[in-house]
Amino acid sequence: MAITKALSDPGRVRILLALRRRELCVCQITKLFGLAPSTISKHLSILFQAGLIESRKSERWVYYRLPDGDVSRPVRLAIDWIAISVEKESQILQDKKQLKKILKLNPIELCKQQCKK
């Protein structure tokens, strides 16, 4: 049930797809989607509780990624299904372009800028 709840929101699906090929800092995710940090935090929490993402903390920053290694079959199937189902949609393609630009920015500076807001 947690997986279906997590996948019921388009924003959370977009976050999953952004994490498909790389780990991202919360600041990078926030910049990509242009949402309030509290909204991103809530989305990440739901995805984490469903087992669809993992996190690690490094100093003041938190990074998220898709799960490594031993992942339950439902989680793996859900991630694969999402990737196949929506990866060619225009919003996902726009996210991919925007993410390329964001990845060129210094993540530490990006996080510092967001903390000042």
**Does residue 47 contact residue 18 with C-beta atoms inside 8 Å?**
no
Give the count of beta carbons closer than 10 Å to the beta carbon of residue 64. Answer: 22
Q: Could you report the per-residue pLDDT of 62-114, keeping only the tens digit for each? A: 999 999 878 888 898 998 999 899 988 999 999 999 999 999 988 778 877 77
Close Cβ partners of 114 (under 8 Å, ≥ 6 residues apart): 27, 30, 31, 37
What pLDDT, on a 0 to 100 scale, did the predictor assign at position 110? 80
pTM to 2 decimals?
Answer: 0.88
β-pairing, 54-58 vs 24-25, is unpaired
Q: What's the residue count for the chain?
A: 117
Domains and CATH numbers, the chain: 2-116 (1.10.10.10)
Q: Could you report the per-residue pLDDT of 20-34, keeping only the tens digit for each? A: 989 999 999 999 999
CA atoms of 19 and 13, how far apart (whole Å): 10
